[in-house]
Structure 1
Amino acid sequence: MSGDRVAELEGRIVELVQRTAPPGWRRIDLRCAATVAVSEVTATVLAADGTAVPSEGVPSQLTDLLMELRRAHYEPGRGTWFSALFLIEPGVVERLYNWDFDPLWAPPIPAECYQRDQVVMPRAPEHTPAWLAARLEGRGPEYRPDPDPEPLNPVQQMQLMTHDLAMLLADHAPALWRRLHGYYQAVGDHVEFPPVTVFSDDGTTRPWTPPAAAGALLDRLRAGMYAFEGGVWSRFEFQVRLDNGRVIVDGTYQRDAEPAWNTEPSADDVRRELQRFPMEQAPDWMSRRLGGAATRTFRKARVFDHAGSDGARPSVSRPPWPPTRPNASPSTCTTRRWCGPPAPTPPTSSPPNAVTAYR
């Protein structure tokens, strides 16, 4: 991928879109979904009078430039983007490239389109997401919780929100959105992810159902934070907003208080929650839903010797325990984050419940 070539093509695309827009335009949303075999380009303009004007067609030159941009982005083994979104306002442009998520063609394109893409611009197995593997085989993707999720350190948590979640929601939200507000709450198998409220620049407000991959991302965030920190939240309220050409994500976690459920979870949901996320003392509301039964459980700790640098995952550096001493007690100890003599004192403050993340 040549950065200079990408920048040149981006500039030409923006210039062409602006030149062909109606006089006095206030905003233009340009989206392209593509493989080497098929492409779809849509443009929506916010006119001078504040009304939304969807395009009836785009110049073939614009489509050619976008396809050339897609080729310019290709990296051997990693691939290139499946959809691109340009949010254009006078004097400022936000560009979002979706390399990892299903672009959700409607109707779905044939498997042959993805197969040809894989021949011309192949991806290595480690860069082939599960949804793409399914599409290559002619199947629809399935989103299931990871039974053994890897921990997400604070840097990875921020990346998931600022890049993955922001990209996914912005890419599929109705054109001309300015702010997306929603929440995700769960206990056990009881998950509530209702439609997000969309506030648009044309003055309209509407509900919108996010793609299933967004719910899977939030479950991944929940499980990854638990694996790293030892605590789990039950509700995440978020806002994605476009502010001066930047996509910003604000979020608030609810850890101990019971969410205001839309439908009541069962006691079995609470039991499954404690099986998946064991904790020394469950919140009072879980105990109440279990009829006052004891909710003291123990999490399966990952054994490690020291914290990694710069937010990296903890690591193990000890030699194997001698098999000739099966009953001896090791001199090291396992705590929430640190291990080894002497063990540092764990932090007394809880992880922050609110976060603002910038792309």
Structure 2
Amino acid sequence: MKYFFSAGEASGDIHAAQVIKALLTLDPEADICFLGGDRMAEAAGHEPLIHFSRMAFMGFIDVAAHLPEVLGNLKTAKEAISSMRPDAVILVDYPGFNLKLAKYAKSLGIPVFYYIAPKLWAWKSYRIKQIRRYVDEVFSILPFEPAWFAERGVEVTYVGNPSVEEVEAAIRTLPSHKEFLNVHSLTDGRPILALVPGSRVGEIKANLPVMDAVARLHPDMQTVIAGAPSLPRDFYASFSNFPVIDGVTLGLMANSRAALVTSGTASLECALAGCPQVVCYRAVGWKWAHDIFLHILKIPYVSLPNLIGGKIDRQTRREVNNEAIKTGVRGCIVPEMLVHNCTPENVNRELSRIIPDGKPREAQLDGYRKLRRILHTDSSAAENVARLIVQKLRKV
């Protein structure tokens, strides 16, 4: 059978690659075309139609600035789907782009599967109509999502969380701490502070300067930036002169005393790696933008560790937001410094609480243990997705 995948950023590339591997086990003759990155290329055995480095634009301003490229990517993808006529289109997160592909594929009568459901419970819930119309089946990686979608008339299957198995498998293959230091020319005896500013240009521009300023307040630690493989090192030099390590973000977090992490999949991976963290999301730093941000959000938190491990209800949201406006989120697993609260002073206050041994650090590590219990499954998320897709197609 023929499959068309679309993943528009680094985390999607990782998760989609695992599904491709599982599909090729079930369907060894599978013909796979994809938008994605190096991990998917390795799994499929050939290069992507479009590399995600040409797709990873964030927010209205970033997308508007690159509109010709965005429209060109969309046209290329549609032409490939029309020419290939795949048996299935498999979309991975990245809803702004992928839901347009879903509509097009559906117009051609091609089954559409969505892996890693769009976070409609957080914002842009109006997209639920597009999910109903254009997506045949949604596979969720967050245990609270099926109930939310079911209330709105969409059946969603929880397949497990791929980050759990990917992190556990990767950690088993990591070198020792001493070997990690030697390979990356780091100093033994000095604790590492990891800066994880994201994989998109817009994220890094907004968050790395704040992270850099905080790191300079801790000269006793050796600071290392987790680089995105798709971006050149001299790009990071515009915002920080700390060393950059490419393609080993998980290993860096697992070997760090603490981390500053831009909200996203990396915050969950950091938790699973057992590294205490402060979540940062600078974006536009104006207070009015922050107020709009809180008004739009339908949830009390933005980071995955807090969303999975915390209660999501309106009362909790009100209580948390009242405190967050002043000091960042309390009463949750990881502190979140959002929008205009994401300043060097505020981020450093939270970081300084979790670097030394003590109650704040231990509370976060206890929260991480809770996360692992919640997310534990006995089967692979990628294998579950591949099996469900093949079963569905063979019934058609």
Q: So what's the TM-score if we normalise by structure 2?
A: 0.26
Instruction: Return the structure number with greater strand share.
Output: 1
Which has the larger Rg? 1
Q: Which is helix-richer, 1 or 2? A: 2
**Looking at both structures, which has the greater relative contact order when contacts are Cα pairs under 8 Å and sequence separation is at least 6?**
2
